[in-house]
Amino acid sequence: MTVNRRDFVVAASAAGVGLLANRAVAEVGGTSADSHAGKKAFDDRIAFGAWINDVRTEPLPFASWPPDVLDDVAEQSIVRTIDLQSQAGYNMFDMFGLFAAWGWPIDIVSAASDGRDARVRRIVKAAHDRGIKLVYGLGVYSWGFDKIIQHDARVKGPNPHAMCASKDESWEWQKKIIDFILQYDFDGYHLEASDLGRCTCETCMKRWPVQATYYNDVTARCADYIRQRAPDKYIAAITISWADWNGGFTEEDKSNLVELSKKVDSIFDQGHHGQYVKQPDRKAFIERLHCKFGTSAGFWVYPPFRCHRQRWFLPYTQRTGAHIKELYADGGRSTLFYQGPVTNPGAEVNIAFGGKIMSNVERDVNDVLSEVLDELYQPKNASAHKTLCDTFQLAEDAYFNNMNYDADGIHLKGLPDYPGPGELHIGFGIGLAGGTSAVPVYLLEPNLVDEGRRCYAKGLEVCLKNICDIENQVGAAERMQRLKSSIYCALDDVITIAYARETSPKS
């Protein structure tokens, strides 16, 4: 007889043997290689930063994006996140910005000065001690080259953020940076060529009239060099912005990716606005590849760095769980699962859920959520545990079921040119407050309109009532206060917007 996880937790809690239940959970959710034997697990269960301060447990109100500060709080936040990743079953952590964001210094080496070298080495060791491989997020001809482009006219094209791919000197700079990073004990490279665009000089346009071909070639160039210098490093090729979000990859793009797949370990079609490889074509495409294939789990929140960490409450375990199962069934074996501050209760649960579902895709998504909430909140009875599960599911439904989608279910009505998120931005700073805090754009059009905001507020009201009812029935008191605070903040924002819209003079 098979007892599923939820039945077991309820029975164990009812019998007052919470400790036993937690021990059983630790055995089920273990992170050793053996714990995945015989289970349908992703090979690359990658936590994706994306930037070093996206997991920061405190806000950075006066910084600009992406903040590259690596101080005590940043280091502690990263290690705390690695702890959670390790418990949840991830095996890699991929981050941008450990040494530079927009611009490496001209001498390269001073990127590691002022104690940064020691901090980076401590972070690498902390990851390895916890069974997590560390992957370095590397810009390919762009991201990190602004100062070099300003300094060396030979690599300059029309794009201030992208070196000219036709110039030998650009390649020399790229190699210098790879060589520098290779001195550290990173386990792999995330190669990203396209987020800031390409070089559009006459020579580059003539040589690579097709955008994806340009990105493919420069990525392959770096992959070959890393393979030659350090054959055991994991190499991931990221295809963000390689193609049109509606049209996706052409047959030519796909054939070129098959060639690239001979040089890298994984190719990622992350899906900021849905995937470039549409789902009906995905299985056949994956079968053509010589490497693994992955996405970013179908949906994620990109956390704002300026505002309060409990400002939003967006668990999305149902959506990502369903996507991850479909991806696995199509042959996908890699996922770049976005992280966030673990002091945000929705982000914390999403992170833990992601690691567990990637470790065994056959598990029921509700069962995994139930286990995560049991471990994190330590409910003292079955009723409180059920209320927690209901609250996280309700919060997800209350937001996502009320987004203003067109009848096709793919495009938001107010954003017909792009498939819907993908990547959801929570908030942006505005000049009114010197860029500090953030406007909660996720509650505004095109994501929610009046009716959606009304329904979301009603949903959050029920979530808040639930949490108040069981406040004293969980072991993790501090975490419970963060949860309450997070639901409160989201509700404050949505009713403020709704009231402002209702009372503003109509023209």
Ranges within 322-351 binding Zn ion (CB under 5 A) = none
| Cβ at position 361, least distance to Zn ion in Å | 43
If the CB atoms of residues 41 and 193 are measured against Zn ion, the closer one turns out to be: 193
Ranges within 390-419 binding Zn ion (CB under 5 A) = none
| Cβ at position 163, least distance to Zn ion in Å | 8
Residue span binding Zn ion (CB under 5 A) among the ranges 78-86, 140-148, 154-162, 245-253: 154-162
| Cβ at position 195, least distance to Zn ion in Å | 17
Residues 6 or more apart whose Cβ sits within 8 Å of residue 457: 491, 494, 495, 498
If the CB atoms of residues 208 and 399 are measured against Zn ion, the closer one turns out to be: 208
If the CB atoms of residues 143 and 305 are measured against Zn ion, the closer one turns out to be: 143
If the CB atoms of residues 204 and 474 are measured against Zn ion, the closer one turns out to be: 204
Fill in the DSSP letter of residue 247.
T
Beta bridge partners of 248: 244
Residue 504 buriedness (CB in 10 A; 0-12 / 13-18 / 19+): exposed
If the CB atoms of residues 63 and 201 are measured against Zn ion, the closer one turns out to be: 201
In one letter, which amino acid is 24?
A
What is the size of the binding site for Zn ion (CB under 5 A)?
A: 6
Beta bridge partners of 191: 138, 237
Tokens 């346009």 sit on residue: 205
Separation in Å, CA 22 to CA 6, 357, 365, 380: 13, 18, 19, 12
Backbone phi, then psi, for 50, in 5-degree steps? Answer: -70, -45
| Cβ at position 65, least distance to Zn ion in Å | 26
Ranges within 225-254 binding Zn ion (CB under 5 A) = none
| Cβ at position 138, least distance to Zn ion in Å | 20
Tokens 């650009």 sit on residue: 170
Ranges within 163-222 binding Zn ion (CB under 5 A) = 164, 166, 199, 201, 204
Q: How many CA atoms lie within 13 A of 407 on its CB side?
A: 0
**Alpha carbon distance 370, 29 (integer Å):** 13
**E strand intervals along 370-502:** 423-425
Separation in Å, CA 101 to CA 50, 51, 170, 222, 301: 12, 9, 18, 19, 21
SS3 396: helix
Q: How far is CA 344 from the centre of its chain?
A: 14
If the CB atoms of residues 73 and 201 are measured against Zn ion, the closer one turns out to be: 201
| Cβ at position 222, least distance to Zn ion in Å | 17
Question: Exactly one of 18, 157, 355, 420 binds Zn ion (CB under 5 A); which one?
Answer: 157
| Cβ at position 102, least distance to Zn ion in Å | 20
Tokens 């040089």 sit on residue: 263
Q: Do 225 and 175 touch, CB atoms closer than 8 A?
A: yes
Residue span binding Zn ion (CB under 5 A) among the ranges 102-110, 123-131, 162-170, 432-440: 162-170
Which positions from 375 to 394 touch Zn ion by CB under 5 A, shown as an x/- string? --------------------
If the CB atoms of residues 190 and 198 are measured against Zn ion, the closer one turns out to be: 198
In one letter, which amino acid is 383?
S
| Cβ at position 170, least distance to Zn ion in Å | 8
Backbone phi, then psi, for 304, in 5-degree steps? Answer: -80, 145
| Cβ at position 207, least distance to Zn ion in Å | 8
Q: Tell whether residue 149 is a contact of Zn ion (CB under 5 A).
A: no
If the CB atoms of residues 66 and 197 are measured against Zn ion, the closer one turns out to be: 197
If the CB atoms of residues 199 and 238 are measured against Zn ion, the closer one turns out to be: 199
Q: Do 410 and 395 touch, CB atoms closer than 8 A?
A: no
Residue span binding Zn ion (CB under 5 A) among the ranges 44-52, 127-135, 155-163, 228-236: 155-163
If the CB atoms of residues 90 and 208 are measured against Zn ion, the closer one turns out to be: 208
The site for Zn ion (CB under 5 A) is made up of 157, 164, 166, 199, 201, 204
